[in-house]
Structure 1
Amino acid sequence: MRQLLLGGNRLSGEIPVALFNLTLLRELDLDSNELGGTLPSDMGEALPNLETLELGGNMIEGHVPASLGNASRLSTINMPVNNFTGHVPSSFGKLQKLYSLNLERNQLRANDDQSWEFLAALSNCSLLDMLSLYGNQLEGVLPDTVGNLSAGIQSLLLGTNNLSGMVPLSIGNLKNLTKFSLAYNGFTGTVEGWITNMKKLQGLNLHGNNFNGSIPFSIGNLTQLSVLYMDNNKFDGVIPSSLGNLRQLSDLDLSYNNLQGNIPKEILASGSMTNCILSYNNLEGVLPPEVGSLQQLTELQLSSNKLTGAIPKTLAQCKQLETIKMDQNFFTEDIPISLGDLQSLTTLNLSHNKLSGAIPTALGDLKILTQLDLSYNHLEGEIPTKGVFKNTTAISLNGNKELCGGVTDLQMPLCPIVSHKKGVPYYMVRVLVPVVGLALLVLLIYFAVFRNLSGRPHSSLPSFHSQFPKVSYKDLLQATSNFSESNLVGRGSCSFVYRGQLLPVNAEVAVKVFELEMQGADISFMSECEALRSTRHRNILPILSVCSTIDYKGNPFKAIVYEFMPNGDLKTWLHPASDLEDPHYLGIIQRVNVAINIADALDYLHHDCERHIIHCDLKPSNILLDADMVAHLGDFSISRVCVQTSSQSSAGNYSSPVNSASVNGTIGYIAPEYAGGSHVSTSGDVYSYGVLLLEMLTGKSPTDPMFNNGLNIIYYVENNLPDNIFRVVDAYLQEESEALAPAYTEEQNAVYQCFLSLLKVAVSCALQDPSERISMREVSKKLNGVKMSLPFE
């Protein structure tokens, strides 16, 4: 037998030992099956005439046999997507006919000089054309010997490993490379010293590293480039106009860098580009009208820059456009009516700009437009009612105060019917209403201040149930040893929290004392009382009593008494102090339980509470753990009571009439729509919960120094889903899961699926568009399902 070709079937089990007796076999193809087991260590001697070996897409484990280096006729070794461990054999350097070596997406390691020896050995393979080690566990600095690989090598793929440091300049010796990837590593430094030598490059992927410096002007000399990914790095300076020389460029992604200056019109003059992504930089100036030259363009992303001026009408010449994202810029003037000619358009996001005028009715004629976001502009007039405008879940028009009409479910005000007779009264009303309103507001402030001054110590409290015991200032003073600093366990923006033993209830308590001289402290006290007076849930911090009186000096005094939580807050468990000799961590089961506890609490507040409540400040320090490690949600000092509209009720979404500008919250956890002045809503809590869940799974705070230049904890996780989740999961959780479920078992796969499911839930909570986020009821259901799937308790 010379050939055995069984690829692309459903074969399972181990490869039969008898197969390795076929000493004359030249081609063995078992690719894309479900084969497991290991390969015999003497495989190279057993099959000495082998020329082609195709074993990719199986579940084979163990080491790659070093004896394959003795099968001197081997030209192709393709074994990607398996579970191989250990090192790449340096014996492969003896294969003089080796043309293709593909070991990507395994678990091969290289972390010292000995394990990197294979790279130097491969320099002896003068015919080597393709080397892929993408998706393994190569670590540290890439050896300088990489530059000694075959001068004729055309494809070198080293992405998704743990490589770091600077790229060796010797790599510039590989002048015949056409495909080169270093994506998803930790490389640093500039690219100028080596990139310009690779003049035959067709695809270059540097995504997800820490490269810095400017993009070299000389990159325009790589005239055969068709794919250029340099996103998610730290490049700065301007986009070189020389990119206009790349006439074959079809995919350009420079997003998530620190690029500045204008978008060169030269790079928009090439008609071959299909994807242009320049989001999350500091680009400024106008979008050149030359963008209309990109006749093949299907995706244009310019989000989160500083672009100004009008949206070019020439954009409508790009008839193939499917996605336009130009949100979070400073575009002005009207939305071009000609955008209604883009019949292939499915997504249009122009939110958070300064666009004015009416919404073009032609957008309603786009039959496959399914996502439209025009929120937070200065649009006015009647909302169209055709096409995408019929689906209220597919459009977002918030923050445009002068819009009216539209379909009933939008709950927008009716458009005024302005006639010659009624025009004057209408404008009279628009003038008089604010004037009268201002006068009433002044009167209200006057009476409120007057009442506060005349009876401040006796401010009313929400009516609490009779089971709450009354406590005096004296009781709290004794309980906390005169509010001793030794009993101080926490501090908020306008309060101190003390630990104490309260005699009237004979219990250990936490006493939250409000600093009433601080602005907003009195409001915070009332908000927390209002929120908690009617809540009853096992995962909400139990309130024991409140105290509103005067102290011994005659000053007003306000405090809330809670049940004490002996295990502190979640923050101290996720981020223990560095000086602790024996820091404690939460295991996977504990973290899942905490996540479910808080999801249940928010589900109750959002959907089942007597008056629906928005927490507004969800973060680890506001989650307390009792003696049994059950989590309780606390600190309702900036919470809001919800109101609902009929359209919101059906979707389970509620909002507060209070504008988000009056809500402080905590940086890193605040929903992005609040930055634009949106009313606080339950979907804002969902976003904060998503960030919290990501923090619990990654062990990284959303304000970690690594999250800068447009990269945040959400994009950090999204960029590694679904194939590289163990690059982001907390190392402690990985160690625990490996100890509880040995590698390459069904249990280990269940743990992987658990992490993947949890990360997906978190990301679906933290979506940028509030209307796309799932509800806390859905979150609670999904998390309980994940817990049931865990292979251990």
Structure 2
Amino acid sequence: MGPQPAAHPASNLTLPSSHTTAKPGETMHQERPPFCAIRTSKGNEGLVSPNRPARRAMILLLALLLISDGVGTAHCSTVSGNSTDMLSLLDFKRDITNDPRQALGSWNASIPHCEWKGVNCSLTHPGRVTVLNLTEQGLSGSISPSLGNLTFLETLDLSTNSFTGELPPLGRLHRLQQLLLSKNSLQGIIPATLTNCSNLSYLDLYGNFLTGEIPLSIGLLSNLLWLQLSENNITGTIPPSLKNISQLEAIDLADNQLMGSIPHEIGQFPSMMGLVLGGNMLSGRIPTTVLNQSYLQILDLSTNMIGSTLPSDFGDTPPSLTLLYLDYNMFEGYIPASLGNTSGLSVLDLSYNKLTGQVPSSLGRLGMLNNLNLQNNKLEAKDIQSWEFIDTLSNCRSLQVLALGKNQLKGAIPSSIGNLSSKLQGLGLDANDLSGTIPTNIGNLSGLTTLALRENKLHGSIEGWVRNLRNLTVLALDGNNFTGPIPTSISNLARLKKLYLANNEFEGPILKFLNYLHLFYNYIHGEIPRNGVFENVTPVSLDGNWELCGGAVDLRMPTCSAISQKKGRLYYLVRVLIPVVSFISLVLLIYFARLGAKTPRRASLLLLYSGNHFPRLSYRDIAQATQSFSESNLVGRGSYGSVYRGKLTQAKIQVAIKVFDLDVRYADKSFISECEVLRSIRHRNLVSILTACSTIDNDGNAFKALIYEFMPNGNLDTWLHTKSAGEGPRILSLGQRISIAINIADALAYLHHDITRSIVHCDLKPSNILLDTDMNAYLGDFGIANLVRNSKSTSVGHSSSASTSDGSIGLKGTIGYIAPEYAQTGQASTFWDVYSFGVVLLEMLIGKRPTDPMFDNELNIVNFVERNSPDQILHIIDDRLQEECKGFIRATAEAGNVVYQCLVSLVQVALSCTRLFPRERMNMRKVAMKLQAARTSYICWSKQARAS
């Protein structure tokens, strides 16, 4: 058993170093560094704090330090006088369905059970098992109830395996001190009988699929030191009965669906060192009792709905605080100047709140600070005094990340910026109201790997300082007024991989050793190279540079011989006019869309997106593009119209044209809804409108159409269910299906959580998921989407009327994909989309539509999979996947197990999305995270399997 609390004062606690870095865009796991560059819908580079797995890694280290004593003190015995324990272990073995590493190979009658791998026995009670430790063995199957007969068991560690099913009854294990079952796929509730294990000191169940509430009787575990229930689907509130566990040192309940306020009782633990409650739906205020904890080092309340102002004396208590995460909440008011008194603070994350006022200069007293994230608030700076905090932060010589983007900082960047720590790796001042030139001494920050200054009013040349930032991997300067040539010294930045210079006034030739290049709307001229980043046109954006020529064919640039001086001048003129025309078009969009029915003879072409400089289109142009709406060009039909493939003669590009059938009720409102939604959002996995057209046809009737980029691989429905002419069925690999699911999960997470007014798609189904040449997935058809009034409410299932502001547009969704609560409420909520996504994911895995004839009476796609999960997964998946999975199984047992576990994980995610009660469903952020983890595992082992 670990030491008692008195042996662990906060001053003796060793925390892991976070002074590591990773390349921007890399997937981070438990040891994620405190800063990374992430690419958002527009390729935005942002500065982020350590994600919750990284925070949890710090807490887990505490667990390892405390637990290690208990595991290490067990002794082995070769005496096997007691057969009860041996028989219980053999029962456990029989329920194992896969043992890729032969961890249980020694478990047979020819060897005393106390010598079996992972088994330790008592010296004083011969044959009685005290330790069962089979962590990280790749074991699959259920955990046998027979383990409840090992009444001398003190440590049970089955963590990081692939166990499924429910928690076994362990209430008779009164000697049990450590129950470690994390990182499996266990389901069901936490049984109240577990609290009979009165000697339990470490309870770790994180990273499973547990549901239900935390047992109210948990307060009976009076010896508990460590409670780890994070990354499950636990609902309900935090039970106040926790106050009875006076010795608690760490509580981690993050990434669940807990609601209500934080009970003040949770702050009454004299030895509390870590409290992690992030990623839930908690509300209210921070109890003052929490802030009075003498030993508290880690406080993570991020991604909740906790609000009000921060206490003015916040920094005076708790005195030992090291890591403070309050990001993604609803805090208002000023940042307390007293935070500067928390001398040991190394991470302060207050991003994504509603904080106002100035950044207190007292933060410069935090000598241990290495990560300061204040982005996405309403913080102000407009004069020398309010910019003083930059001067004082120069005292923080360990500072690695300073994120101040998306605030209300104005004026020139102070020259003292160059005095910040030489260890600074990430600096974000993007999306403010900064003006003037960049101080040349910013080049003193030679350790910078990411510099984000986009979307300001900065001007001048960048030549004087950029050459000194030799460690840069990401440089984001787009959306400013920079002028002059792109410095040739950029070519000497050997580590630079992503360069964003779009929407400036740069001129001159372009540099060739990049992975991403965004230069649209500048004055770049000359011939486009064909090597380096230009070998693949996907990560290159060059629109709006009128004197560029040559390059890869897919860039669709004119040949260099065709560019004349006269045309160059003309293009400069167009460069000035296009923003004006685009602005006017955006203003008139909804006006003409609504006016079209009343004034059918007034034609209008409304350009929403001018990236490819679309010409003005008439009804005749669209009719010509579709060969008079020929059936041969028909791609598909929907509730409110038809979609055609077309080629615009002037633009010389293939497009998809959605023509609305205005004779259908609510079709005109669907047109308006889709325009309203898509004009205000941008994400890499959302279909974007290129042009909207509201005019009249040849007979004088109203005509409405939307023009999109054409997706050559059609929609997901055809890949799952349609055979191509003269060919067999199309085949999607498991890897492709996972990637498609991640694309759509990312898109929904953006719609639900990352924009001011959350959007509920309301009609998620495979036919609305489109695929480009590289099989990237895009979510389309927003004709019945809903704008939710309060985005903060969506995470708890906030709903809005199933209608637009002009009235109802009829039935929402498609039979088979509609959430079951629709019949009761008739109201849209983000949990609708979550349910529909779960059904789509199941459909992708088993290859059956939810309306398949096999699903009748009480059987549906959800309970069909539930009944066959996990043991029969390989038998019910799509026939086209079965052969692929058999190939992995034949390659190596370990690879086969990983693929099997990957399938189980995908099914569990889908089932977690389709729970009957909306509040028990995952939110899309968590869904995306789970799917990313599954893909990482699959990619790793698929490569090894192919290599073997």
2:664 aligned with 1:566: yes
Give SS of 1:151's match.
coil
Change (3 A) 1:750 1:730: farther
2:252 aligned with 1:183: no
Give SS of 2:379's match.
strand
Amino acid at match of 1:255: Q
2:862 aligned with 1:741: yes
CA RMSD of aligned residues (A): 4.8
Give SS of 2:416's match.
helix
Change (3 A) 1:31 1:373: same
Checking the alignment, whether the CA contact within 8 Å between 1:287 and 1:307 is kept in structure 2 is: yes
Checking the alignment, whether the CA contact within 8 Å between 1:313 and 1:336 is kept in structure 2 is: no
Tell me, in whole angstroms, the C-alpha distance in 1 between the residues paired with 2:594 and 2:166: 63
Change (3 A) 1:543 1:274: closer
State the 1:179 CA deviation: 0.6
**1:21: which partner in 2?**
149
**2:111: which partner in 1?**
none
Partner residue of 2:521 out of 378, 399, 403? 399
Change (3 A) 1:23 1:752: closer
State the 1:690 CA deviation: 9.5
Tell me, in whole angstroms, the C-alpha distance in 2 between the residues paired with 1:639 and 1:16: 55
Change (3 A) 1:202 1:493: same
**2:447: which partner in 1?**
320
Checking the alignment, whether the CA contact within 8 Å between 2:359 and 2:380 is kept in structure 1 is: yes
Change (3 A) 1:185 1:528: farther
State the 1:314 CA deviation: 2.2
Partner residue of 1:291 out of 387, 402, 417? 417
State the 1:206 CA deviation: 1.3
Partner residue of 1:74 out of 174, 194, 200? 200
Partner residue of 1:245 out of 352, 356, 365? 365
Change (3 A) 1:494 1:155: closer
Change (3 A) 1:399 1:572: closer
**1:505: which partner in 2?**
none
2:592 aligned with 1:492: yes
**2:691: which partner in 1?**
616
Tell me, in whole angstroms, the C-alpha distance in 2 between the residues paired with 1:212 and 1:700: 28
Partner residue of 1:156 out of 275, 290, 294? 275
Partner residue of 1:282 out of 408, 426, 429? 408
Give SS of 1:67's match.
helix
Amino acid at match of 2:518: S
2:601 aligned with 1:514: yes
Tell me, in whole angstroms, the C-alpha distance in 1 between the residues paired with 2:211 and 2:438: 53
Amino acid at match of 2:246: S
2:223 aligned with 1:102: no
Unaligned runs of 5+ in 2: 1-128, 535-541, 550-564, 578-589, 608-613, 627-632, 645-658, 675-684, 696-701, 711-754, 757-771, 794-827, 840-859, 874-903, 915-922, 929-948
Amino acid at match of 1:513: P
Checking the alignment, whether the CA contact within 8 Å between 2:396 and 2:421 is kept in structure 1 is: yes
**2:32: which partner in 1?**
none
Checking the alignment, whether the CA contact within 8 Å between 1:617 and 1:639 is kept in structure 2 is: no
Higher relative contact order (CA 8 A, sep 6+): 2
Tell me, in whole angstroms, the C-alpha distance in 2 between the residues paired with 1:331 and 1:163: 40
Tell me, in whole angstroms, the C-alpha distance in 2 between the residues paired with 1:571 and 1:164: 37
State the 1:8 CA deviation: 1.0
Report matched runs for 1:192-231 at 5 Å.
Answer: 192=311, 195-196=314-315, 197-231=317-351
Give SS of 2:230's match.
coil
State the 1:401 CA deviation: 2.6
Deviates more, 1:309-318 or 1:567-576: 567-576
**2:219: which partner in 1?**
93
Tell me, in whole angstroms, the C-alpha distance in 1 between the residues paired with 2:373 and 2:263: 28
Indicate the structure (1 or 2) with the bigger Cα radius of gyration.
1
Change (3 A) 1:735 1:327: closer
Change (3 A) 1:751 1:525: farther
State the 1:56 CA deviation: 0.6
2:457 aligned with 1:330: yes
**2:289: which partner in 1?**
170
Deviates more, 1:535-544 or 1:22-31: 535-544
Report matched runs for 1:205-604 at 5 Å.
Answer: 205-262=325-382, 263=387, 264-265=389-390, 266-292=392-418, 293-380=420-507, 382-385=508-511, 387-388=512-513, 394-401=516-523, 404=526, 407=529, 413=547, 492-493=592-593, 495-497=595-597, 513-515=600-602, 527-535=618-626, 536-539=633-636, 563-566=661-664, 568-569=666-667
Tell me, in whole angstroms, the C-alpha distance in 2 between the residues paired with 1:570 and 1:759: 30
Change (3 A) 1:332 1:145: same
Checking the alignment, whether the CA contact within 8 Å between 2:605 and 2:617 is kept in structure 1 is: no
Unaligned runs of 5+ in 1: 416-428, 442-489, 499-511, 545-560, 577-595, 603-613, 623-632, 642-667, 670-684, 709-727, 764-793
Tell me, in whole angstroms, the C-alpha distance in 2 between the residues paired with 1:413 and 1:164: 55
Change (3 A) 1:563 1:173: closer
Give SS of 2:481's match.
coil
Partner residue of 1:635 out of 704, 708, 731? 704
Checking the alignment, whether the CA contact within 8 Å between 2:605 and 2:692 is kept in structure 1 is: no
Report matched runs for 1:632-671 at 5 Å.
Answer: 635-636=704-705
Give SS of 2:309's match.
coil
Partner residue of 2:257 out of 112, 134, 137? 137
State the 1:341 CA deviation: 3.0
State the 1:4 CA deviation: 1.4
State the 1:322 CA deviation: 1.4
Tell me, in whole angstroms, the C-alpha distance in 2 between the residues paired with 1:37 and 1:396: 49
Give SS of 2:283's match.
strand
Name the TM-score, length of structure 1 as normaliser: 0.60
Change (3 A) 1:526 1:366: closer
Checking the alignment, whether the CA contact within 8 Å between 1:237 and 1:260 is kept in structure 2 is: yes
Change (3 A) 1:562 1:366: closer
CA displacement 1:423-455 (0-9 Å, x = unmatched): xxxxxx999978xx99xx9xxxxxxxxxxxxxx
Give SS of 2:454's match.
coil
State the 1:575 CA deviation: 8.3
How many residues are paired up? 547
Tell me, in whole angstroms, the C-alpha distance in 2 between the residues paired with 1:175 and 1:189: 24
Tell me, in whole angstroms, the C-alpha distance in 1 between the residues paired with 2:328 and 2:786: 18
Checking the alignment, whether the CA contact within 8 Å between 1:528 and 1:635 is kept in structure 2 is: no
Tell me, in whole angstroms, the C-alpha distance in 2 between the residues paired with 1:38 and 1:431: 71
Checking the alignment, whether the CA contact within 8 Å between 2:250 and 2:273 is kept in structure 1 is: yes
Change (3 A) 1:617 1:185: farther
Tell me, in whole angstroms, the C-alpha distance in 2 between the residues paired with 1:298 and 1:5: 41
**1:54: which partner in 2?**
180
Amino acid at match of 1:159: G
State the 1:229 CA deviation: 1.3
Give SS of 1:61's match.
coil
Change (3 A) 1:516 1:54: closer
Partner residue of 2:791 out of 687, 692, 706? 706
State the 1:526 CA deviation: 5.8
2:158 aligned with 1:30: yes
Amino acid at match of 1:283: L
Checking the alignment, whether the CA contact within 8 Å between 2:143 and 2:164 is kept in structure 1 is: yes
Give SS of 2:330's match.
coil
CA displacement 1:85-121 (0-9 Å, x = unmatched): 222223332333211111111122224xxxx4x3x32
Tell me, in whole angstroms, the C-alpha distance in 1 between the residues paired with 2:143 and 2:234: 21
Tell me, in whole angstroms, the C-alpha distance in 1 between the residues paired with 2:643 and 2:195: 72
Change (3 A) 1:404 1:210: same
Tell me, in whole angstroms, the C-alpha distance in 1 between the residues paired with 2:707 and 2:151: 76
